Homo-oligomer: A and B are copies of this chain.
């Protein structure tokens, strides 16, 4: 599956092996287990490290470098989302913004900018959201996800009782977290897809 994901088959296999093995493995064991050349494994591990998806460890009494994946699956999701954002989304947004700063020369260009603006706002909104919720504790995160579309009932509840929303303690939200709600207008961010 990884092959459709910007990471190649070999690298995916190495990662999968580390994930299911559940213990740190040295490069030569990986090469043997998967029948890859030693150099191929070396490069694959390099790439995984650049994605922060594997950690290098030294085991006592063994000179070789050992590699392992994070224990917690949610940690994996967080890292992946962050790295993709950094590598793919942010540069895209930056290009879009540059284009949006130019003065449109005519009606066509204005229309094009409008479309780009919509795409930009969409991406920004999705990214912001994902940044935001990824900072939550795993436990809170799963609670939200389990709720699914049921979340909308909570929103209805809040809308029907605006008084409550206004007078509650603000201490609960994470630090860098603004209080957008209906205020914010242009989104900023994009998850994957």
Q: A1-B88, A132-B149, A157-B168 are in contact. List 17 more A-B contacts (CB 8 A).
A: A19-B119, A20-B112, A22-B111, A73-B119, A73-B122, A77-B126, A125-B142, A125-B145, A128-B145, A128-B148, A133-B149, A136-B152, A144-B152, A148-B178, A151-B154, A154-B158, A191-B191
Residues on A lying within 8 angstroms of B by beta carbon are 1, 4-6, 19-22, 73-74, 77, 80-81, 84, 88, 91-92, 111-112, 115-116, 118-119, 122, 125-126, 128-129, 132-133, 135-136, 140, 142-158, 164-165, 168, 172-174, 177-182, 184, 187, 191-193
Main secondary structure of the interface of A (DSSP, over half): helix
B residues less than 8 Å from A172 (CB atoms): 152-153, 156
Known contacts A135-B149, A173-B149, A19 near B115 by CB under 8 Å: yes
B residues less than 8 Å from A180 (CB atoms): 146-148, 150
Known contacts A116-B20, A191-B192, A193-B192, A182 near B143 by CB under 8 Å: yes
